[in-house]
Amino acid sequence: MKRRALQVSIAVAALLPVVAGLWGVTQPASDGAWAGNHHRYLSGLLLAIGLGYWSAVPEIETMGARLKLLTTLVVVGGLARLCGLVLGDVLTPPVAAALAMELFVAPLLCLWQIRIISQSQSALPGIPRLEPHLRHIVPQPCAYPRVSRSATGSFAPWPKSLF
């Protein structure tokens, strides 16, 4: 149930960058040739981020690294947008909504995925599988007393240095 809610939430949240990215790629920019070209490039990146989130939805349990990478990209972009506000950009409703998605929604979805996955796994998920390969590290109890060679060449059950 929680897994399904997370999948739906990520799919719905990723709809925004997909739609905005497609819109930005297809709409002409009015600031000149280079600005229009750069606008399309950045819109393509936004589209790719949304598609990346969508690609993680079917196997959400195994996509932690992908979600963390995508969320990091989104948060860095949000911090750049926030820096623009500090430098004098105007805070409009679309900018405020984008900041909310970039600095709150995306990180919360990533944390939600981490929490759901950690609750569904054992405390040490790889240990049962690795245990046969790690036995040489853990000392095993000895079934017989330690035997050492005495100065005379015969074997004694304890070292002579103890006496």
Indicate whether 162 belongs to any domain.
no
Indicate whether 40 belongs to any domain.
yes
Indicate whether 71 belongs to any domain.
yes
Per the structure, how many domains does the chain have?
A: 1
Indicate whether 138 belongs to any domain.
no
pTM, entire model: 0.70
Indicate whether 123 belongs to any domain.
yes
Indicate whether 134 belongs to any domain.
no
32 pLDDT band, cuts 50/70/90, is confident
Tell the burial category of 106 from Cβ atoms under 10 Å away from its Cβ (0-12, 13-18, 19+). buried
Q: Which domain holds residue 93?
A: 2-129
Indicate whether 143 belongs to any domain.
no
Indicate whether 15 belongs to any domain.
yes
What is the C-alpha to C-alpha distance for residues 79 and 62, in angstroms, rounded to an integer? 28
Question: Are 159 and 148 a contacting pair, CB within 8 Å?
Answer: yes
Over residues 37-92, the pLDDT tens digits come to 888 999 999 999 999 999 999 998 889 999 999 999 999 999 999 999 999 999 99
